[in-house]
């Protein structure tokens, strides 16, 4: 199973909105509504920000939202804050109880 494709980096200024894409295939993203997004700060474990494409854990800010169209999922962060600077990884169920992650995107808040 190949990793999902994400841009290596994105950047934005405080207060702006950014979107990170995650492209897979009909065997993963396109075939299931089980896409999740994780935030990882350096030296820390990942933290789930979005699950089931667009659902947000109660402890996650409403500035984070997710969507999907075809084989591509997206994570949007609105009202960028300096603490949002981190790596972001998408993940998808691939069937046969397997999961795959994206290559990761480094978000820089300028």
Partner 1 sequence: QVQLQESGPRLVKPSETLSLTCSVSGDSISSYYWSWIRQPPGKTLEWIGYFSNSGSTNYNPSLQGRVTISADTSKNQFSLTLKTVTTADTAVYYCAKYYNAFDIWGPGTTVTVSS
Segment lying near partner 1 (by CB under 8 A), choices 10-18, 63-71, 74-82, 89-97 = 89-97
Q: What is the Cα–Cα distance from 77 to 60, expressed in whole angstroms?
A: 11
Q: Tell me how far, at minimum, the Cβ of 104 lies from partner 1, in Å.
A: 5
Question: Cβ distance 72 to 21 under 8 Å?
Answer: yes
Q: Tell me how far, at minimum, the Cβ of 67 lies from partner 1, in Å.
A: 16
The contact set with partner 1 (CB under 8 A) reads 1, 3, 36, 38, 44-48, 51-52, 55, 57, 89, 91, 96-104
């Amino acid at each position: 199973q190949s990793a999902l494709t994400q841009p290596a980096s994105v950047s934005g200024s405080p207060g702006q909105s950014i979107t990170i894409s995650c492209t897979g295939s009909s065997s993963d993203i396109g075939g299931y509504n089980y896409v999740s997004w994780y935030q990882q700060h350096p030296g820390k474990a990942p933290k789930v920000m979005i699950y089931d494409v667009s659902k947000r854990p109660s402890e996650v800010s409403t500035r984070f939202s997710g969507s999907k169209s075809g084989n591509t999922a997206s994570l949007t962060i609105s009202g960028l804050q300096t603490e949002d600077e981190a790596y972001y990884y998408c993940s998808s169920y691939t069937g046969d109880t397997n999961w795959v992650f994206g290559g990761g995107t480094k978000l820089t808040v300028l």
